[in-house]
Every structure is written in C-alpha cells, then in structure tokens.
Amino acid sequence: MAEALLIVDVQNDFCEGGALAVAGGSAVVPVINRMQADFPLVVATQDWHPAGHSSFAASHAGAEPFSTVEMAYGTQVLWPTHCVQGSEGAAFHPDLETDRVALIVRKGMDPAIDSYSAFFENDRETPTGLAGYLRDKGVTALSVAGLATDFCVAYSALDARALGFDVTLATEGCRAIDLDGSLDAMMGRMRGSGVTVA
C-alpha cells in the first residue's frame, strides 16, 4: 500500500449554513466520494472542539470573529464557535461516504491549542499519531482534499511533505476561506514545499 487519500474536515459547520461556512463547501462532497475508489486506504479528519475552546472568539471578552490573538504557540485566528464535540455542526456532511474511511483523526480537542493540521496541533510539537499510522500501513504518498484549502488542508499538506510523504493537492476536492489573501499565500507555500497541485 503506497498511496492514501486524506479527507480533511468535510463537516457541516464548514458547509453552507454552517457556523464557519466555506463558500461552495458542499461541492467537494461528490468529488471526494468519487476519489475514494481510487485509493487502497482512506483516512479523514474531524475538527472536534470542546465547548469554550480558546480559538473561539466567544472565549475572549470583546473579541470579534476573524481577529487574532497571541497564544503561547503564536498568533491564533479567533473563529466563530464551530465543530463543538457531539454537535450537528461537527458531524460529517450527510452525503459524504464514510464506509471506506479506515481512520478518523479528531483534532482541536485540547481546549488550549487549536489544530489545523492532520499531523500536529498548532504548537507544531504535539503529534496526532497520523504519521505513524500511515507509515505502519506502508503509505508513502498522500492525496489531500477537503476544507478549507488555505487552513486545515494546507497545513496538513505542508506537514505531510515535511514528514517525507509525497503529497498531491486535489484542488477540485477543496474550497478555501481566503482570509486576507490566505489562499494565494498558502498555495505558494505548498508549491514551494514540493506539493503537487493537481
């Protein structure tokens, strides 16, 4: 088994009508469903925040969503409350096929640290365990799709490259938030790290 598909955060809160909706987010679902048949291994991530997570604007008196604060691990965007553990918003999109998903990595569970990447929390030190799982399965290459291109997808792709995996970004299966030019910036970083953009 050399190649796997990583599905990132295709959850209700990131799709139309959700608390942190990505424009056109649900459009990735049929694309990702078709892609799954092409891979011997499929893994997925879920944002899975406890209520009152430190990355929520509501957890900081007077803070507006999409403003930033300095955390112990660096600058953190403050998000609308989203993907709270066990909520409907945290559930996978109802049309996402999950029968072939072998592993679900839930991230952002530490109330003090946000987690964009499928591989590390935002302190850049705490691993999720996904890299070891993939290596144990003999995976050397990953295709990445999901939400959002310029945050959780990009950080997952960059970390996968840094960990030695060959990485392909399946752009048809992604949509972006594009916060203050973040899409162009992160696409540049991914290309610069050796991510193949397909």
User: 0.85 cut: is pTM over it?
Assistant: yes
Domain holding 186, by residue range, is 3-197
Q: Is 83 a catalytic residue?
A: no
Residue 184 is predicted with a pLDDT of 97
Angle between helices 154-162 and 182-193 (to 10 degrees): 20
Q: Is 136 a catalytic residue?
A: no
CATH number at residue 48: 3.40.50.850
Q: How long is the chain?
A: 198
pLDDT tens digits, residue range 13-26? 999 999 999 999 99
CA distance 104 to 45: 5
Residues 9, 13, 47, 150: which is the catalytic one? 9
pLDDT tens digits, residue range 118-147? 999 999 999 999 999 999 999 999 999 999
Which helix H or strand E contains 157, and what residues bound it? helix 154-162
Residues 15, 83, 107, 114: which is the catalytic one? 107
pLDDT tens digits, residue range 162-183? 999 999 999 999 999 998 899 9
Residues 15, 83, 152, 174: which is the catalytic one? 152
Residue 101 has φ and ψ, to the nearest 5°, of -75, 115
Q: Is 107 a catalytic residue?
A: yes
**How many distinct structural domains can be found in the chain?**
1
